[in-house]
Amino acid sequence: MEKAVETTRLERFLDSDIWHSFKSNPVAIVSLIVTLIMVLSSAFAPLLAPQDPFDLANIDIMDSSLPPSWMAEGDPRFLFGTDDQGRDILSTIMYGAQISLIVGFASVVFSMVVGISLGLISGYAGGRVDAFIMRVADIQLSFPAILIALLIDGVARGIFEAHLHEQISIYVLIFAIGISGWVQYARTVRGSTLVEKNKEYVQAARVIGIRPITILHRHILPNVMGPVMVIATIHLAIAVITEATLSFLGVGVPPTTPSLGTLIRIGNEYLFSGEWWITIFPGAALLILVLAVNLLGDWLRDAMNPKLR
């Protein structure tokens, strides 16, 4: 029985509009492949990277600022060259993307959980609860995410002692970026909930005494997951950029565990001195990652919205 359901699900998926749209869209296919490569290579960085850039006993200052290996003074050990500390750029990018993606994914999940819960509650309960949540959402929406994140990071910096803050800064960052993004999820979910709530099957379920939580979970949630996925994809791109910007402004993750944004900030100091590879490669990696995710989100949105096809 279970197996049969699975098969039909897969079959249903393979027969779905989404899959057909995906198959016929080369941009979407390439984006997905690029995204997967980036995600996997950073996830398995400890296995794949030529060097562990965080192991200080491993790096030598005398190797610092070497150009990419194909250039005259390049060293075959370092494909994309080395940074000012003698770390292999390719490895720092892989590890850096890992940090960026962890922050990105985690803050998206955080936003999603908060946003969906509040959206469901808001839409289903209605009345004062709804008015209150939506009012908070309005207020928060009017403040740009970057400002909220700056605020939260500033607060954390004040509360926690410096050393501790360095250790937990990644969680602070996830919280800061995540908390500023829940509104969109909440609004979308609330809208769909309002629509679904009044449909007959939900009304019927209510009448026969099924608990609200079950109704929300079984009937309403599946219907709002489509738009939520679209928001989540685009939000991932925004989260990665926000993290990079905060790190660039110097309030993100500490340089000892650099994200892509931190790498760009460090490399920026060497842009005029001709050591372009220190900043250009991490910059390109960030651009490619965000671009691929954005393209994927774009396609997903169009595919989900039949009106646009």
Partner 1 sequence: MKLRHGILAATAAAAIALSAPVVKAETFKFAFQGNLSSLDPHSLNETFLLGSLNNVYEGLVLYDDNLKVVPGLAESWETIEPTKWKFNLRKGVKFHNGNDFTAADVKFTWERAIGEGSDQIARASKIKNVEIVDDHTVIIETPAPNPILTSDLVNILIMDKEWSEANNTANATSASADNSGNFANLNSNGTGPFKVDEHKADVKTTFSKFDGYWGSMKSNVTKIEFTPIKEAATRVAALISGELDLVYPVPVQDWKRLEEAKGVKPLAGPEARTIFLGMDQGRDELLYSNIKGKNPFKDIRVRQAFAHALNLDAIKKKVMRGAATPSGLMIAPQINGHIPELNTPYEYDPAKSKELLAAAGYPDGFEVTMDCPNNRYVNDEKICQAVVSMLAKVGVKVDLLAQPKSKYFGKVLATGGYDTSFYLLGWTPGTMDAENVFSSLLTCQNKEEKKGLFNLGNYCNPKIDELTAKIGSETDQAKRNALIKEGFTILKEEVGYLPLHQQPLSWGVREGVELNQRADNALDFRYVVIN
Partner 2 sequence: MVSFLFKRLIQSFIVMFTVALIAFSMFRFVGDPINNMVGQDTTQEQREELREQLGLNDPFVVQFLRFAGNAVVGDFGISYKFKVPVSEMIAERMPATLELAFVSAVLALVVGIPLGVYTALRRNGVISKMVMTMSLFGVSLPTFLIGILLILFFGVVLRWLPTFGRGDVVDLGFWTTGFLTKSGILSLILPSITLALFQMTLIMRLVRAEMLEVLRTDFVKFAKARGLPDRSVHFKHALKNTLVPVITITGLQLGSLIAFAIITESVFQWPGMGLMFIQAIADVDIPIMAAYLVLIAFFFVVINMIVDILYYAVDPRLRTSDGS
The enclosing H or E element of 296 equals helix 277-304
Q: Which of 13, 19, 143, 171 binds partner 2 (CB under 8 A)?
A: 143
- How far apart, in whole angstroms, are the C-alpha atoms of residue 185 and residue 195? 16
First-to-last C-alpha distance (Å) of the chain: 36
Neighbours of 8 (CB within 10 A): 11
User: Among residues 166 and 298, whose Cβ is nearest to partner 1?
Assistant: 166
Contact indicator for 192, 223 with CB cutoff of 8 Å = yes
With CB under 5 to 8 Å by kind, the binding choice for 284 among partner 1, partner 2, none is none
With CB under 5 to 8 Å by kind, the binding choice for 65 among partner 2, partner 1, none is partner 1
With CB under 5 to 8 Å by kind, the binding choice for 210 among partner 2, partner 1, none is none
Q: Say which DSSP state 253 is in.
A: S
Report CA 167 to chain centroid distance, whole Å.
21
Looking up tokens 């685009």, which residue turns up?
Answer: 234
* Binding status of residue 241 toward partner 2 by CB under 8 A: yes
Q: Which of 56, 71, 129, 151 binds partner 2 (CB under 8 A)?
A: 151
Can you tell me whether residue 291 is helix, strand or coil?
A: helix
Which residues 224-253 are close enough to bind partner 1 by CB under 8 A?
250
Contact indicator for 173, 252 with CB cutoff of 8 Å = yes
* Binding status of residue 300 toward partner 2 by CB under 8 A: no
List of residues contacting partner 2 (CB under 8 A): 126-127, 130-131, 135, 138-139, 142-144, 146-147, 150-151, 154-155, 157-159, 237, 241, 244-245, 248-249, 261, 264, 268, 271-272, 283, 286-287, 290-291, 294-295, 298, 307-308
Q: What are the residues binding partner 1 (CB under 8 A)?
A: 56-57, 59-62, 64-65, 84-86, 162-163, 166, 250, 254-256, 268-275
